[in-house]
Amino acid sequence: MKPMKPVFEEISEQLNAVKHGIQIIAVTKQVGVERTKEAIRAGICHLGENRPEGLSQKLEAIDESVSWHYIGNLQTRKVKDVINEIDYLHSLDRSSLAKEIQKRASNQVKCFVQVNVSGEESKSGIAPNETIDFIKSLEIYDKIQVVGLMTMAPNTTDELAIREAFKGLKSLQLQVSEKQWTHAPCTECSMGMSNDYLIAAQEGASFVRIGTALVGAESEAKR
């Protein structure tokens, strides 16, 4: 795999050319502890995992001060294993999950509500036309702060379709932000991955989640 630092610097320059301040989340789910530590040494301070086991294994081995993001679907029964170990959850998408977070969290958790902008059945997330009502319903949970919205682009090479999905999320994020809800400032957009992070940046992303294009992938990542 390529040395991490020059790759990180190149991606950072690409993003800064679009907009300053976009946070790069290194998605380390396909690499082990040593590669993750290399990411930290390269200057990366946001790390993303999508499995409780992978998160736990890396937390045990890494004591550097970084922000941990849980970016995968979180089963309700696994909330107790994850929620007090992370700084951000990117996949809040149902009331049962919100209720369990309220029950298990020791402190307020920064959450992104996942929105299925593309409408693909293979993707999780709230339908766009249900998102505002869902976020409004979360005001009863003092352990949840909705900092923004998250989406995944449609599974296509059609750049226009990808761009439209990201535009849709940004528009929805602004609508929520305008409500000025205390529990849901909703100032952020988490969108864009290895194949489309530049498009996401152009359409208003403030967090991009980059795995293979940044940290690579190991055939047998040590979990």
Predicted confidence (pLDDT) per residue in 193-212, tens digit = 999 999 999 999 999 999 99
CA distance 131 to 122: 18
Quote the pLDDT of residue 77. 96
Q: What mean pLDDT do residues 53-60 have?
A: 94
In sequence order, what are the beta bridge partners of 109?
144
pLDDT at 159 over 90: yes
Q: What mean pLDDT do residues 62-69 have?
A: 92
HEC readout, 41-57: HCCCCEEEECCHHHHHH
CB 58 within 8 A of CB 26: no
pLDDT at 75 over 90: yes
pLDDT band at 222 (very low <50, low <70, confident <90, very high): very low
pLDDT at 174 over 50: yes
Residue in 35, 39, 64 with CA at minimum distance from that of residue 222? 35
Quote the pLDDT of residue 219. 55
Structure tokens at 206: 């403030």
Residue in 1, 49, 15 with CA at minimum distance from that of residue 208? 15
Residue in 55, 153, 129, 135 with CA at minimum distance from that of residue 94? 135
pLDDT at 221 over 60: no
CA distance 212 to 30: 8
Residues 6+ apart with CB under 8 A from 212: 30, 194
Residues 6+ apart with CB under 8 A from 193: 27, 152, 153, 208, 209, 210, 211
Percent residues over pLDDT 90 in the chain: 89
Q: What average pLDDT is seen over the chain? A: 94
Q: pLDDT of 5-42, one tens digit each? A: 999 999 999 999 999 999 999 999 999 999 999 999 99
HEC readout, 88-138: EEEEECCHHHHHHHHHHCCCCEEEEEEECCCCCCCCCCECHHHHHHHHHHH
Q: pLDDT of 101-153, one tens digit each? A: 999 999 999 999 999 998 888 888 999 999 999 999 999 999 999 999 999 99
At 196, give phi and psi (nearest 5°).
-145, 20
Q: What mean pLDDT do residues 156-163 have?
A: 94
- For 22, which DSSP code? P
Decide if domain 4-210 falls under CATH 1.10.3720.10.
no
Cα–chain center distance at 15: 17
Where are the domains positioned within the chain? 4-210
CA distance 52 to 72: 9
